[in-house]
Structure 1
Amino acid sequence: TVLLHKEAVPRMENPLFSSAFLPLSLLAFVSQVLVSRAWTTPDCTIADSSLLTNLSYYIPFCSLAPGLYLFASCSNIKDVAQTLRAVPQDREALCLQGMGSVLPANAFADFSSLQLLRLQLGNLKVTSKAFQGLDQLQHLYFEHHAPCCLSLFLPPDVLEPLRSLHSLSFQGYCLNSSQNIQLPISLTCLTLRHSCLTKLQELQGLFSNLVPGSTLTASPRPSVYFLEVLDLSSNLQLSQAGVRALHGLQLHSLILDSTPLSSLGLLDSGLLHLDFLSLVDKGIKKLPGNVTGYFALHALDLGRNQIQNIEDPDLASCHSLEILSLHDNGLRSLPIRFLSVLPQLQRLNLSMNNLGPTLVLPGLVSAKLRVLDLSYNELCNLPYGAFSFLPQLQELWLRGNNISSLINGSLEGLRWLKTLDLSWNQIKVLNPGWLSSLPALISLNLLGTYLEHILGKQLQGPHKLHCLQLGSLDMLDIYSPWPPALLSLEVRAEGFIRFIVHNEEPFLLLENLTLQSANAQLFSYNTTVYFPSLHHLTLRGISSYIFSSHQPLKFFPELPLLEHLHFWSDHMDADTMCLLGMPRLQVLELGDLNFLSEFSLVNLEILLKQVPQLQVLVLSHLNPGTLSMSTFRDLGHLQLLLVNSEYSLGLDSNLQELIPQMPPYVFFSDITFTCQCESSWVGPWATRAPNTFVYGLDKSICIADASDYSKTPLLSFFSDHCTHDPGFQGFLASFSLVSLMSILALLGCRKWYWLHNLQNLFHAWWWELCGRGPRRQLYYDVFVSYCEQDQAWVLEELVPALEKPPPMGEGLKLCLPYRDFGLGQDRMDATVANMKISRAILCVLSCQALKSTWCNLELRLATYHLVVRPRMARPLLLFLEPINSQELCSYHRLTRWLQKEDYFDLHQGREDWDSFCEQLRRRLRKVGQERED
């Protein structure tokens, strides 16, 4: 540190030493405060997913609820309280994963903004007040993903503080040991998956206020009575319902997927109301007409069962259905009057069946059907007026069939159709006018077809076509004119995409554009194509020549409103890439570009200078070599930096100069660094960065050269091969000095009257530092500083020798932190206060002590007293083992300021312990007399 450099500090004989050294003294303490503000957390991902919507593609974390962005996802947890101390308290979602943890009382009391809590903590012990203070929590999940169930005990009142809870989920836990759990009345969704339930009746004992009258003890709390969703799926032992098991409960949705419980058992359960029943993957072979008719169900999901044929009698009790899903059942045929006997049906899912050869499309007659899914049914042809008997149809899904052609009139009668999906069919030709009968069409999907040419006149008919997806397995030529209201366009082709534009501007309203191909070309005749409304642009596989400034006619001459550019290319020509004309670009994702050329860093630097408003920068598979300060110098608005899948990456030491403006989030994902000490500054920066969360360095490895195949942990290499980097300490010193000078300037501002009180306090402290304040009464003879590893020797050997009463000893009064600090007192404050009232400071040093944070702090304070306040306690050093003097100097350089008699080497004096103790007592007595004088 700057504090102890001999060259930088004058000798103590200088009368102006104290006042001249004050800024540097404050500087050291400010540096220590900055270091203590670190919030980098091992095994944790902390981020704001609103900055990058596809962040989970690069950084794994748990799933979140819609609308939640500020999250922390931590793994390998052993102590929940210790982990939470390093997590920012403004998180909206928190995911904890580990084993053998305890949730103590008020564990989340500091996280008042928390709305989602996901716990994957194995054998979890939950105390009664664990969730105290979570008034805003809406989603609570207990999850265990191993095959067997774990026992979980919840106190009856543990959920009482959760007044806003909407969703409660238990997965992989057995709650048999819990009884009378009080559910919040705000609860709308209750889930028990992979549990040990055997009867529905067990729910009465688990949750006392779920079912009215379910407990013999009268509860003063209101009952839930109504749930939106009760999910009991994947309970492999749940085979019985029980009479009146759910008596009085009203449900909107009941999910019994993959459970052996027969749906007939629900008839005697006492359930008052049910709208939706899900019976997926239960081996059902016939429609459950009795249950459907009993509850007058509005929705029924029978996916992944074995219903291969449906007879008319099976439909007799299903007249109330509005939603029916029969996907993946192996259906071979439908009754002729299938839809006519389901008069209320609005949504029908028949995907992944075998209806193609037998389905009679003109026989589908319904006056109310709005959504029909016939995907993956081996349909080959769409005859004239195939869906004309479905006049209210709004969504038609025909994905993954064998349709090869669409004749005019195939879609006749669908005047209200808004969504049409024909992707992954064998369509080769589109006839002009095939969309003329679809005036209300908004979304059209033609990905994965065999089309080679798309003519503008083939898309005429719909007046409000907003979303268009086009694709070919080979090449695709696209001709104007385009639908005038187009907002989103996605085009994919294996070979290339060519846009042929004539004398019009076809993309005036386009907001989202995705192009995926080996190449994209623009042929324009006497006109310039503009994208004035484009906000989001995704390019995959296309050469960076599309952005080249050398191109005679640029594909994107200017993009004034573009905010997000996702550009991944498989080509080797990144040198000509230019991003000018994007003044509002905020998110830039670059991947698979070639930056291995001689001017790679220069090219990346020039590229980023063109987009100074960036808030998010993602670099993936770029091979940039070494990242330096010049690369990011102009990105003052950056909020998130993500470097992904790079090999042999170097970080220049001059990047330290950008630490004050580093973004709040820096992620390193799947990175192999080069083993070089020039990058050793990232170790202390990643663990002490005051304003930046750094992810991934603790799991990163480095290689020494191309022939090095060993997996050396990066941080281990730094600690084993690199000396402590003075550059980072120099930065902290200079940054702290600038901050200090700014504060002092503010203190002198006369308009800010409230600062004068602080100024007076500062003056009082100044006079005391200069030795002009009132003398304090000394209470202790010696303040003893030691690390936890040396505590046993200090208490068993050193303390008895120094506190031994006369006449055998001096009877010194020692200050020991573990014994003499007040209960609940801040350790920093206690250390400073007790050093002031001690005659001497004895620092017990060992290799372990030099690695201790508190020993370092106490040694800094002792040095401060020696250099700045010579009338305060004098430090003495007691060495328990040989320590390299260079190692000691690299931490504190204290040896430059001490006299020879201030050193005590125990390893040299073990042969005569009594003589060693007498020498130590004599020096302590002399130091105490000097302090009194």
Structure 2
Amino acid sequence: MKRKQLPPRHFKRHPRAAEWTITDTMNVSKPDSSFASNTPQGAILVNRAWVGVVDFHGTNVYLISPSSLEEVRRMKRPLLSFTLLSLLMSLGCAWTTPGCTIADSSLLSNISYYIPFCPLAPGLQFFASCSHVNDLAQTLAVLPSRLEALCLQGTVQVLSANAFGRFPILKLLRLQLGPIRVTSGAFQGVTQLQHLFFEHPAPCCLSLFLPADALQPFGLLRSLSFEGYCLNSSHSIQLPLSLSHLTMRHSCMTDLQELKELFPSLVPDSSPIGSSSSWSPFLEVLDLSANLQLRQVDARALQGLQLHSLRLESTPLNAGELLGTGLLHLDSLSLVDTGIKKLPRDVTANFELCALDLGRNQIQSIEDDDLPGCHSLEHLNLHANSLHALPTRFFSALPQLQRLNLSMNQLGPTLVLPAGPVSSNLSMLDLSLNGLRALPARAFFSLPQLQELWLGGNNISHLSSEMLGGLRWLKTLDLNWNQIKVLEPGWLASLPALTSLTLLGTHIENFSGRLLQGPQQLSHLQLGAWEFLTLYNPWPSTLLSLELRAEIVEFKFSLREAFLSLENLALQAYWVLPPPTNTTFHFPSLRHFTLRGCPSIFSSHHTYGLFPQLPLLEHLHFWSDPQEIEHVQLSGLPRLRVLELGDVTGFYPSNQMKLEEILMEVPQLEVLALSNVNLEDLSVSSFRDLRFLRLLLLNSERVLGLNRSLQELIPQMPQYVYFSDVIFKCQCENSWVEPWAARTPNTFVYGLENSICMVNGSDRSKTPFLSFLSAYCLDDLEFQSFLTSFTLVLLLTSFALLGGPNWPWLHHLWALCRAWWLKMGGWHHRSHYVYDVFISYCGQDQAWVLAELIPALEKPFPDGEGLRLCLPERDFGVGQDRIDAMASSMESSRATLCVLSRHALGSPWSNLELRLATYHMVAKPGTARLLLLFLEPIDRRQLCGYHRLARWLQQEDYLDFPKRSVDWEAFWSKLRKRLRKAVQEREA
């Protein structure tokens, strides 16, 4: 259906938007204005002359004159409501974007397990990740313009001019678009960009052309990356002065001289700014890793390049040739997987390196003669080099060394560290996966400043305080995946500063809290055994984080006073045996709780009643078998914000989970992730009280149905709804989902375009869900039949009545039928409504109305109801006749709320407003709704025309303001519900 465009004359500047400029007939841009900065997206601002609409991206405000709305009303549309909805939807594109994931980075920890997304830089919030992009313009046109990060994957041959101009605050752009040609001005308008990546996942060289001036718009660019691309056809590319990270991985580079030809501004002699200090770096990091053809280095190839870190991982370049490159300064050098067999002492000494990474090389031994040039090193990585021993002068020759990684070598079975000065500065030592079986007494005596010790993946079976003697400043000790069976009492006595201890994958079956005596501030503990793990008290009161892993975990002590400060608890076991029946788990400070494979300790049928209340719990992640999930009961969790439920077995459960029972007592929930829990049907009863829900994620659900009742929640739907590997029911009851997902302005919906539907559990036809809705659910046949039969009966009845006597009520019946017919034809009186509620009150009650009533009804949800109110003192025009304004405002309002008190009954204006409201209700039935709010007890017989009011008003139209403050919350809820019902009745 073709939409009629409005002529330009219907749009003009708003007096409070002096900086706005008209860009086209449907868009008034707002580059810098506070008029709508605090207005919700999609809000409609109305005054007597103009209607303002804030678009759903929050970046534009559109002003439409009443004549425009009248012209829209006169358009030949089947339904006026559809016309206005289409007009408002056209002002802001829908969030739903096929093939794209849109999310807030604060939710990544909740969705990354289910939904693919691209790596982001810290500090970025709103992002989109799109795959299978073929038409770039079409994809970008439906994305929100306020994106901060954008990742595109697909096939695009040309980046045209101003391709990303719609995203003025974009800070990260990651492109995986195959062979591509960038035109001049392609990045025009993206002035805030800080990170730009051209990537191809396969290790091959694709053609990429970049004009010399392509990067000129970037005044804040910090990171520039080319991975899997060949830039041979490009030259003299001007780099922004703000650039700090340059990456060229998997390229066709053969000589370092090519860098100078591609980026002449890298070296000072060709840089437009020649007054910079010789020691201030132009680049923080230059990454040339995985260039398999990079073998040649011309003399002075990088003459004058100021660089802090150089990465040459997986390249055949000889490290010694770096001495002739002309680099002025270098702090860090990475030569991972380059085939080096000896320490490059000449290179280290020449640049006085602080960090050297030699991981995954072929260094089998280090001689004392290799060390003199390495005295400046602070960080040394010798990971996976087959080292058997360290030279005797190792630590004495490296006095500045702070971090040493010796993991995946062959320093076992008995650890022998070289003696060194007691003043060694080493703070981190990684000895993981070295085949160690035994630690000699005071093995680390020469490293008194050590703060981190990693011994995971070895064969250590015994530990004592003598072995760890001298480590009085150690804070982190990792003993994961060793053969430890028994720990001696007091084995941590020599580690008073220890704060983190990990003992996962051991053979310890009985662990007593007494084994943790010695450290004064132990706050993080991980314990794990292969089969049984039995825990005994006492436990340190300083624990903040505890993780337990075993097939069976058993508590042999009362937990009432054991973990008063614990904030994070993770249990991974097939079964948890509770403490004695006369005690309960007690975690008054717990905020994060993860259970995987455990029986439901929240289950209502559990014999021991574990964990009855967790008053501060905010995150609950529970993966268990279907029977346990089915009986989950959440009570005593008033602060729960994140709930994740999943079937850990991966099998489809047989019984349906009743979601409304689980979510009954978690009103603060913001994130709900459900995986393979057999929902079968979602209805409005499941989410009615979840006002703060931001994210709803459904994963691996089979034959899921979405009840029509969910349409009631569309204005309050979560901001993000994700369907991952969900199979829907092939039924037309789900037909409302497609238009909702395509046009909703408040919710982003992901995953519908790839979903399938089944007629029943045995159907394997894999019918595309949206295709089924489009093909079979275009029209509701039952509704069409109802309309046809109802219209026929109505016509026959009308003909019979017209031929009879002129009864008085015939006029009213004719008016009602005419109103219904005009509504079906798109000529409903709803177009004349400007306000939701007209408020009538006297001057003595004005203070209460302004302070209590107006905020409760006019403020946006959740603080208020978000209604458009008409107040005489605020909305009547200056100099306008009050009686005319009163009558006009009541006709333009869907409902009238009269605030009555003894003062109001004595006010002539209040009595007049009440009589006018009664007149509209009686003379024009179906056009307005009258509600009475009594601030104090009043005899109903004192009201004017009481018998007529009693005849037309329902019992629920009378509301009494409670005297007790404890009843106020229930009163406001009742008033909002009644007004919402009245407004919806007028919308119908």
TM-score normalized with structure 1 length? 0.75
* Percent identity (aligned): 60
Contact 1:193 1:233 in 2 (8 A): yes
Which digits, 9 at most, give the CA deviation of each residue in 1:675-725, with x for residues without a partner? 222222212222222321111010011222333222211111222232335
State which of 227, 238, 254 in structure 1 corresponds to 2:283: 227
Q: 1:382 to 1:739 in 2, by over 3 A?
A: farther
Counterpart-to-counterpart distance in 1, 2:879 and 2:234: 58
Indicate the residue corresponding to 1:885 in structure 2. Answer: none
State which of 112, 126, 142 in structure 1 corresponds to 2:198: 142
State which of 102, 123, 127 in structure 1 corresponds to 2:179: 123
SS at match of 2:725: strand
SS at match of 2:703: strand
Indicate the residue corresponding to 1:697 in structure 2. Answer: 752
State which of 435, 445, 465 in structure 1 corresponds to 2:502: 445
State which of 407, 413, 435 in structure 1 corresponds to 2:492: 435
Q: Which amino acid in 2 is paired with 1:378?
A: G
Q: 1:261 to 1:503 in 2, by over 3 A?
A: closer
Contact 1:362 1:386 in 2 (8 A): no
Counterpart-to-counterpart distance in 2, 1:698 and 1:331: 54
Q: 1:521 to 1:739 in 2, by over 3 A?
A: farther
Greater displacement, 672-681 / 517-526: 517-526
Indicate the residue corresponding to 1:633 in structure 2. Answer: 688
Q: Does 1:582 align with 2:633?
A: no
Indicate the residue corresponding to 1:709 in structure 2. Answer: 764
Greater displacement, 193-202 / 625-634: 625-634
State which of 613, 616, 620 in structure 2 corresponds to 1:561: 616
The alpha-carbon deviation at position 255 of structure 1 amounts to 0.1
Q: Does 1:623 align with 2:704?
A: no
The alpha-carbon deviation at position 736 of structure 1 amounts to 13
State which of 428, 450, 456 in structure 2 corresponds to 1:371: 428
Contact 2:513 2:537 in 1 (8 A): yes
Q: Does 1:467 align with 2:517?
A: no
Q: Which amino acid in 1 is paired with 2:473?
A: W
Which digits, 9 at most, give the CA deviation of each residue in 1:272-329, with x for residues without a partner? 1001100001111111111011111111000001111111112221111111111011
Counterpart-to-counterpart distance in 2, 1:630 and 1:337: 73
Q: Which amino acid in 2 is paired with 1:113?
A: I
Indicate the residue corresponding to 1:644 in structure 2. Answer: 699
Indicate the residue corresponding to 1:548 in structure 2. Answer: 603
Q: 1:227 to 1:277 in 2, by over 3 A?
A: same
Greater displacement, 745-754 / 187-196: 745-754
Q: 1:502 to 1:627 in 2, by over 3 A?
A: closer
State which of 654, 670, 687 in structure 1 corresponds to 2:709: 654
Counterpart-to-counterpart distance in 2, 1:561 and 1:512: 11
Indicate the residue corresponding to 1:133 in structure 2. Answer: 189
Contact 1:225 1:248 in 2 (8 A): no
Q: Which amino acid in 2 is paired with 1:536?
A: H
Counterpart-to-counterpart distance in 1, 2:772 and 2:618: 40
Q: Does 1:31 align with 2:85?
A: yes
Q: Which amino acid in 1 is paired with 2:82?
A: A
Indicate the residue corresponding to 1:322 in structure 2. Answer: 378
Counterpart-to-counterpart distance in 2, 1:63 and 1:375: 28
Q: Does 1:40 align with 2:99?
A: no
Counterpart-to-counterpart distance in 2, 1:744 and 1:23: 28
Q: Which amino acid in 2 is paired with 1:394?
A: Q
SS at match of 1:655: helix
Q: 1:19 to 1:496 in 2, by over 3 A?
A: closer
Which digits, 9 at most, give the CA deviation of each residue in 1:591-634, with x for residues without a partner? 01899889735x32111112121111101010122222222222
Indicate the residue corresponding to 1:177 in structure 2. Answer: 233
Which digits, 9 at most, give the CA deviation of each residue in 1:127-154, with x for residues without a partner? 2222223232211111112332122222
Counterpart-to-counterpart distance in 1, 2:502 and 2:771: 52
State which of 321, 325, 330 in structure 2 corresponds to 1:269: 325
Indicate the residue corresponding to 2:155 in structure 1. Answer: 99
Q: Which amino acid in 2 is paired with 1:458?
A: L
The alpha-carbon deviation at position 81 of structure 1 amounts to 2.3
Q: Does 1:383 align with 2:440?
A: yes
Q: Does 1:666 align with 2:710?
A: no
Counterpart-to-counterpart distance in 1, 2:413 and 2:467: 18
SS at match of 2:219: coil
Which digits, 9 at most, give the CA deviation of each residue in 1:224-271, with x for residues without a partner? 952111000001111112111111122111000011111111101110
Greater displacement, 49-58 / 237-246: 49-58
Counterpart-to-counterpart distance in 2, 1:405 and 1:141: 50
Q: Which runs of 5+ in 1 are unaligned?
A: 2-17, 767-933
Counterpart-to-counterpart distance in 1, 2:631 and 2:505: 32
Counterpart-to-counterpart distance in 1, 2:636 and 2:827: 38
Indicate the residue corresponding to 1:480 in structure 2. Answer: 537
Contact 1:80 1:102 in 2 (8 A): no
Counterpart-to-counterpart distance in 1, 2:779 and 2:115: 31
Indicate the residue corresponding to 2:470 in structure 1. Answer: 413
The alpha-carbon deviation at position 442 of structure 1 amounts to 0.8
Matches within 5 A, 1:160-559: 160-214=216-270, 225-357=281-413, 359-361=415-417, 363=419, 367-493=424-550, 495-502=551-558, 505-523=561-579, 528-544=584-600, 546-551=601-606, 553-559=608-614
Contact 2:194 2:220 in 1 (8 A): yes
Counterpart-to-counterpart distance in 2, 1:379 and 1:81: 59
Q: 1:392 to 1:148 in 2, by over 3 A?
A: same
- The CA RMSD measured in Å over matched residues stands at 3.4
Q: 1:19 to 1:426 in 2, by over 3 A?
A: closer
Counterpart-to-counterpart distance in 2, 1:430 and 1:459: 10
Contact 1:503 1:526 in 2 (8 A): no
The alpha-carbon deviation at position 635 of structure 1 amounts to 1.4
Q: Which amino acid in 2 is paired with 1:29?
A: T
Higher RCO structure, 1 or 2 (CA under 8 Å, sep 6+):
1
Which digits, 9 at most, give the CA deviation of each residue in 1:756-782, with x for residues without a partner? 9999xxx9xx9xxxxxxxxxxxxxxxx
Q: Which runs of 5+ in 2 are unaligned?
A: 2-71, 788-822, 839-867, 889-988
Counterpart-to-counterpart distance in 2, 1:757 and 1:214: 72
Contact 1:501 1:525 in 2 (8 A): no
Counterpart-to-counterpart distance in 2, 1:235 and 1:739: 70
SS at match of 1:57: coil
Counterpart-to-counterpart distance in 2, 1:455 and 1:39: 54
Counterpart-to-counterpart distance in 2, 1:19 and 1:713: 37
Indicate the residue corresponding to 1:53 in structure 2. Answer: 109
Q: 1:525 to 1:553 in 2, by over 3 A?
A: closer
Contact 1:681 1:728 in 2 (8 A): no
Contact 2:415 2:438 in 1 (8 A): no
TM-score normalized with structure 2 length? 0.71
Q: 1:723 to 1:108 in 2, by over 3 A?
A: closer
Indicate the residue corresponding to 1:897 in structure 2. Answer: none
Which digits, 9 at most, give the CA deviation of each residue in 1:831-869, with x for residues without a partner? xxxxxxxxxxxxxxxxxxxxxxxxxxxxxxxxxxxxxxx
The alpha-carbon deviation at position 752 of structure 1 amounts to 4.0
SS at match of 2:350: helix
Counterpart-to-counterpart distance in 1, 2:462 and 2:568: 29
Indicate the residue corresponding to 1:608 in structure 2. Answer: 663
Contact 2:73 2:831 in 1 (8 A): no
Counterpart-to-counterpart distance in 2, 1:589 and 1:370: 39
